[in-house]
């Protein structure tokens, strides 16, 4: 009983740490070349360095629709 609860707690902690780490991960910015892209909102990522905004997944930056969304955002930014 005691052993089981300890193992359960460890699993939750581990999973929480993993999510936390993924959220804090800095991604490579294609515009300025620095690893400074951070998740800003759900599906919105922003480079701390050059302020470029990327659209991506909620927890990671790479999604199949990512490149299309990126083009759209770039179009709004320049136009």
What dihedral do alpha carbons 47, 50, 36, 44 form, nearest 10°?
0
Binder of Zn ion out of 26, 38, 46, 49 (CB under 5 A): 49
- Answer yes or no whether residue 61 interacts with Zn ion by CB under 5 A: no
Q: How far is the CB of 58 from Zn ion (least distance, A)?
A: 21
Among residues 6, 19, 50, 68, the one that binds Zn ion under rule CB under 5 A? 50
Kindly tell me which residue out of 29, 55, 61, 70 binds Zn ion, with binding defined by CB under 5 A: 29
In the beta sheet, which residues pair with residue 55? Answer: 44
For Zn ion, give the closer residue by CB, 16 or 30.
30
Instruction: Of 14, 75, 50, 64, give the one whose Cα is nearest residue 38.
Output: 50
> CB 76 → Zn ion: shortest distance, Å?
17
Residue 40's nearest CA partner among 29, 51, 28, 30 is 51
């Amino acid at each position: 009983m005691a052993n089981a609860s300890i193992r359960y707690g460890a699993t939750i902690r581990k999973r929480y740490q993993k999510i936390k780490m993924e959220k804090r991960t800095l991604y490579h910015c294609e515009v300025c070349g620095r690893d400074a892209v951070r998740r800003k909102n759900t599906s919105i990522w922003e480079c701390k360095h050059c302020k470029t905004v990327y659209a991506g997944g909620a927890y990671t930056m790479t999604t199949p629709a990512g490149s299309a969304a990126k083009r759209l955002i770039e179009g709004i930014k320049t136009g």
